[in-house]
Each structure stands twice: as C-alpha cells, then as structure tokens.
Amino acid sequence: MLAPILPLFFPYSLKTFFRKPKKSGYAMKRSQRLEPVVKVAENREQQAARSLGDSQSALKQAQQRLDELKNYREEYIQRFHANGAVGMSAVQMGDYRLFLSNLSRAIEQQTGLVQQAAAVVEQQRQQWFTHRGKVKMLGNVVSRFQTEEQRVVDRKEQLEQDECAQRTPKPTP
C-alpha cells in the first residue's frame, strides 16, 4: 500500500537520496574543512593577546604605584632632614623613623607585587606566542592545501582543453 505513495514523498529513490556525495561535486576541500580549526585557533590567539594586554596593564599600574611610594619616601626623607636641621623633638624623630620604616616595608611589598606581575606578563607572553605559532602553522597548512587544490583544478582544465583540441577536426589541405 505504501509503495504508490512513497514516490510522492520521496521523488528520488531511497538509494539516490541517501547515497554518498561524489568527490567532485559535494565534498568540501581540505582547506575548507580546516577553516573552523583556524577560526578557533585565531580566537584563542586573540584571547591570549587580550590577557597579555591586561597583565601588561596590571604590571604598569604596579610599577607606577612602586614609583609613587619611592618618590614619597624621598620627599619624606628630605622633610625629615629639613626639620632635623631646624630642630625636632625625640617624639617627632621617632614618628618620622617609624613612618619611614613602614614606608620601606610597603616599598618591599610593592616590589614583590611588581615581580609577580612581571612573571605573569612573561607567562602570558609565552602563551600568546604559542597560540600565534599555531595560527601561523595552520595558515601555512591551509595555504599549502589551497595551492594543491588549485594545481588539481588547473590540471583538470588543461586535460579538458587538450581533449577539446584533439576532438576538433583539423582542416585538411
């Protein structure tokens, strides 16, 4: 009963409908199959570049904070010497020394933060460089595949032209 209805729903035979595509007509080229892989690699490279930029910004801020602390300590030392030349009490001198000691500890801590930020920048740079290398490598592979594919197309065209040239009758003298 279903046999007469099937052609209405499936105008092609099931064999024809489910057959594998021919290589020349439907199959994707190797370079096209790699496009999603290249896009993923490019996205990862861009993310690594953003992370590198963020870590460089954090390093710059940490370095600026360290420079500010060092400059403030120098200014405070100059004030200490200026006030010491005029004369100051033992309590004031103790306060100055205590504050300079705290400032020196803050500078040491900030120096450690700058070193950590520099290590993170170097790590991020290595990750970006690795991702960049993968993108370049994939680009080279895709380029090579495209060159091979173009060579195959050129060969087919040359063969077709040669066949046409052989088929055309040559004028007889």
DSSP state of 19: S
Kind plus residue range of the DSSP H or E element containing 75: helix 35-86
Look at 28 and 134; give whichever has higher pLDDT. Answer: 134
The answer on pLDDT for 10 being more than 90 is no
What distance in Å separates the CA atoms of residue 24 and residue 1, rounded to the nearest whole number? Answer: 38
pTM for the structure as a whole: 0.66
Kind plus residue range of the DSSP H or E element containing 30: helix 30-33
pLDDT at position 22: 55
Kind plus residue range of the DSSP H or E element containing 124: helix 90-167
Percent of the chain residues topping a pLDDT of 70 = 82
What is the token pair recorded at 89?
A: 């009490």
pLDDT digits (tens, 9 = 90+) for 32-88: 888 889 999 999 999 999 999 999 999 999 999 999 999 999 998 888 888 777 777
What is the token pair recorded at 134?
A: 């993968």
Task: Let me know the angle formed at the C-alpha of 53 by 47 and 58, rounded to the nearest 5 degrees.
Answer: 125
Q: What is the mean pLDDT of residues 82-96?
A: 82
Task: Let me know the angle formed at the C-alpha of 25 by 23 and 28, rounded to the nearest 5 degrees.
Answer: 70
pLDDT at position 94: 87
What distance in Å separates the CA atoms of residue 71 and residue 98, rounded to the nearest whole number? Answer: 18
The answer on pLDDT for 20 being more than 70 is no
What distance in Å separates the CA atoms of residue 153 and residue 86, rounded to the nearest whole number? Answer: 92
Q: How far is CA 86 from each of CA 74, 83, 117, 165, rounded to the nearest angstrom?
A: 19, 5, 43, 108
* Range name among 11-25, 82-96, 112-126, 156-170 with the lowest pLDDT average: 11-25
The answer on pLDDT for 96 being more than 90 is no
Q: Residue 14's pLDDT band (boundaries 50, 70, 90)?
A: very low
Task: Determine the topology of domain 36-138 in CATH.
Answer: Helix Hairpins (1.10.287)
